[in-house]
């Protein structure tokens, strides 16, 4: 992969590292292009989970590269920029578990990227915000939609309308991050180990049931859960999971 996104695959986990530390990993046009290609690594059958991190000590990601906003944009520029952010929705639609492992600044498009992941964990130095209104724009990579779905309307509106930052403790209190950890590597390792223990198809269907179901009326969500649950009763992995339990051994799942 290129210079602005490092991609490493090991032990069943693909790690994408945003790599413009001198610019606090701000997402410029090059990085948008590289992220568009990089998220496709999740399609590799050897990859069981995707982790996103930021390079350097200061930031996960400080959002879109504001310096690219200085020249006035034409309609064509605006359209191209919009297309350039489609990878965020591709990331959100990924069928495998995704984790944002956050340290330092996590702002604007950086927070929107984290919100497109399933799980957000952070170190105590993390700082979160959607400061777009301070730049006379609004969050345009999903923030106005995903933040209220994660933390509820009140805390989301407070963050979006003021542009103010919240610290890691507050982010944990409002449910923006699930864990504040002393050591990101160790925490990522624990999550990766958990993802390697589960049935790959089961985890994909569980994710689909939750992420699609949350936007459906309860009765339709329950129907979706019932259909996916029934499909899973027909898999070889279900038999393997039950046999491994009965025989007191680790299951060897194949995804079939």
Q: Report the interface residues with ligand CAA, using CB under 6 A.
A: 23-24, 26, 58, 62-67, 105, 107-109, 112, 131-132, 135, 139-141
| Closest CB to ligand CAA: residue number | 108
Instruction: HSE, CB side, 13 Å, CA atoms: give it for residue 210.
Output: 14
Nearer to ligand CAA, 26 or 192 (CB): 26
Nearer to ligand CAA, 67 or 79 (CB): 67
Burial 14-46 (b: 16+ CB within 10 A, else e): bbbbbbbeebbbbbbeebbebbbebbebbeeee
In the DSSP assignment, the letter for residue 73 is P
Nearer to ligand CAA, 128 or 253 (CB): 128
State the nearest-atom distance from the C-beta of 20 to ligand CAA, in Å.
Answer: 8
What CA–CA distance (Å, rounded) separates 129 from 114? 11
State the nearest-atom distance from the C-beta of 160 to ligand CAA, in Å.
Answer: 11
State the nearest-atom distance from the C-beta of 113 to ligand CAA, in Å.
Answer: 9
Q: Among the options 40, 68, 132, 240, which is catalytic?
A: 132
State both tokens at 169. 């403790």
Is 247 an active-site residue? no
- Spatial CA neighbour of 12 closest among 42, 46, 52, 51: 46
Q: What's the distance, CA 151 to chain centroid? A: 15
Is 68 an active-site residue? no
Residues with catalytic roles: 112, 132
């Amino acid at each position: 992969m290129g210079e602005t996104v490092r991609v490493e695959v090991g032990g069943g986990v693909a790690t994408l590292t945003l790599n413009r530390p001198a610019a606090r990993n701000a997402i410029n046009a090059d990085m948008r292009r590289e992220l568009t290609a990089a998220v496709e690594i999740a399609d590799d059958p050897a990859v069981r989970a995707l982790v996103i991190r930021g390079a350097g000590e200061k930031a996960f990601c400080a959002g879109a590269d504001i310096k690219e906003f200085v020249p006035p944009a034409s309609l064509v520029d605006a359209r191209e920029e919009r297309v350039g952010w489609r990878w965020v929705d591709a990331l959100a639609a990924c069928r495998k578990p995704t984790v944002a492992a956050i340290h330092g600044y996590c702002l604007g498009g950086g927070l929107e990227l984290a919100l497109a992941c399933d799980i957000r964990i952070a170190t105590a130095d993390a700082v979160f915000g959607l400061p777009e209104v301070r730049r006379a724009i609004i969050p345009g990579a999903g923030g106005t939609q995903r933040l209220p779905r994660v933390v509820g309307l009140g805390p989301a509106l407070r963050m979006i309308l003021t542009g103010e930052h919240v610290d890691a403790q507050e982010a944990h209190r409002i449910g923006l991050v699930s864990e504040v950890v002393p050591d990101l590597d160790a925490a990522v390792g624990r999550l990766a180990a958990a993802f390697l223990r589960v049935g790959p198809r089961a985890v994909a269907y569980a994710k689909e049931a939750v992420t699609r179901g949350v936007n459906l009326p309860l009765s339709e969500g329950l129907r979706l859960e019932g259909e996916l649950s029934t499909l899973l009763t027909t898999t070889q992995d279900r038999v393997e999971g039950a046999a491994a339990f009965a025989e007191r051994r680790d299951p060897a799942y194949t995804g079939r």
